[in-house]
Structures are given as structure tokens and as C-alpha cells.
């Protein structure tokens, strides 16, 4: 928990980036599919990079690091796959994003369970549940239009970003 608190800024920045990405999905839903795919890939890689760094720092302090690193690697792999094949169909992108959200949500839920009874664990639990639910919704309705999909991912990113920003700020308050 101390490690998370010292790196509150990374969680807060992760939240801000998710909020900005979410707003972009609502403000420009007619964005070309390739641009949306590349933007989502960039978000996944930045988000995954922060999670890997947090995992490496935890490992250096002989703390539990596996779930953070796993979430980060999943984000990096999903982002790289999307960026490598920008001409793929919307259905393929939706399945990649849906499976990423489910796996990422499961990793966050596992990390939240390990933080049981510590400050802010319910926020990580909420982020994990949001990821899991959003991923399942995307897999159930894959044929939704580009605009609807952009709104779904925008709504998810906004909620996830707010939760991660709140967690980062709460951890910062705990240091004071």
C-alpha cells in the first residue's frame, strides 16, 4: 500500500488520460475508424506502461507485483496488436478491446482483493468491475455502430478515469 501511495501521481495521471480519451470519444464520435483504433492503441500502451512500471517498482521492494505487471503487459500487447494492424475490421477491434477489458478487470479485481481492508481498495475494486462489465457488454453486442462503440468506450474511459483519479488523490491525501 505504501508503494501505491508514493506513486499516487501515476494513478492520477492514468485517470486523467482516461478521462481525456473518454471526452474525445464523445466530442468526435465520427472519427475515422483507423484514427480511433490508433488512439485506443496509444491509450492502452501508455496505460500498460504505467502498470508495468508500478509492477517493477513493487518487485524491487519485494512486494506483490505479478497482477500489476500482468495487467500492464496485457495492455501493451493489445495496444501493439491494434497499432500493427490499423486496417482490421471493427468487429476484430471490438473483440480485442472486450477481451482486454475483461482480463484487465480481472487483474484489477485480484489486486483489490489482495489490498482488502486497506485504504482505497474499493476504488480499485470499482475500476476492475467497470472493466469487466464493459468488456462483457462489448462482447455481447459486437455489431454496434462506430458511434455507439465510441460512446461505450468513452463512457467506460470516463468512469474508469474518474475512479483512478480519485484513487490517486486519495492515496496522496494518505501521505500527508
Question: Is residue 39 predicted with pLDDT exceeding 90?
Answer: no
Taking Cα atoms as reference points, which of 76, 136, 67, 125 lies closest to residue 101? 136
Q: How far apart are CA 14 and CA 3, in angstroms?
A: 16
Least confident residue range of 63-67, 105-109, 155-159, 172-176: 172-176
CA 4 to chain centre: 16
- Whether the predicted pLDDT of 32 surpasses 60: no
| pLDDT for 47 | 92
pLDDT for 7 equals: 81
Smallest CA-to-CA distance from 157 within 130, 137, 139 is with 130
The reply to whether the predicted model has a pTM over 0.75 is no
Banded pLDDT at 146 (limits 50, 70, 90): low
Interval 66-94 mean pLDDT:
82
Of 62-71, 122-131, 144-153, give the lowest mean pLDDT range. Answer: 144-153
Determine the Cα angle at 10 with ends 36 and 63, to 5°: 120
Domains and their CATH numbers in the chain = 2-175 (1.25.40)
At 145, list the grid cell: 455502430
Band the pLDDT of 119: cuts 50, 70, 90. Answer: low
pLDDT of residue 86: 67
Quick one: average pLDDT of 79-105?
80
What mean pLDDT comes out for the span 145-174? 84
Q: Cα–Cα distance between 98 and 139 in angstroms, integer?
A: 6
More reliable by pLDDT, 114 or 57: 57
* pLDDT of 165 higher than 90: yes
Amino acid at each position: 500500500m505504501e508503494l501505491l501511495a508514493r506513486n499516487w501521481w501515476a494513478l492520477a495521471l492514468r485517470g486523467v488520460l482516461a478521462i481525456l480519451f473518454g471526452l474525445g470519444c464523445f466530442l468526435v464520435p465520427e472519427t475515422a475508424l483507423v484514427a480511433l483504433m490508433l488512439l485506443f492503441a496509444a491509450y492502452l500502451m501508455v496505460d500498460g506502461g504505467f502498470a508495468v512500471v508500478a509492477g517493477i517498482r513493487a518487485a524491487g521492494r519485494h512486494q506483490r507485483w505479478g497482477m500489476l505487471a500482468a495487467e500492464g503487459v496485457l495492455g501493451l500487447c493489445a495496444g501493439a496488436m491494434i497499432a500493427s494492424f490499423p486496417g482490421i475490421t471493427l468487429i476484430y477491434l471490438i473483440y480485442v478491446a472486450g477481451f482486454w477489458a475483461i482480463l484487465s478487470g480481472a487483474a484489477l479485481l485480484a489486486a483489490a482483493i489482495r489490498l482488502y481492508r486497506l485504504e482505497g481498495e474499493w476504488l480499485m475494486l470499482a475500476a476492475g468491475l467497470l472493466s469487466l462489465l464493459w468488456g462483457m457488454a462489448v462482447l455481447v453486442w459486437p455489431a454496434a455502430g462506430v458511434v455507439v462503440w465510441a460512446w461505450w468506450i468513452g463512457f467506460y474511459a470516463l468512469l474508469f478515469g474518474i475512479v483512478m483519479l480519485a484513487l490517486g488523490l486519495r492515496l496522496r491525501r494518505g501521505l500527508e
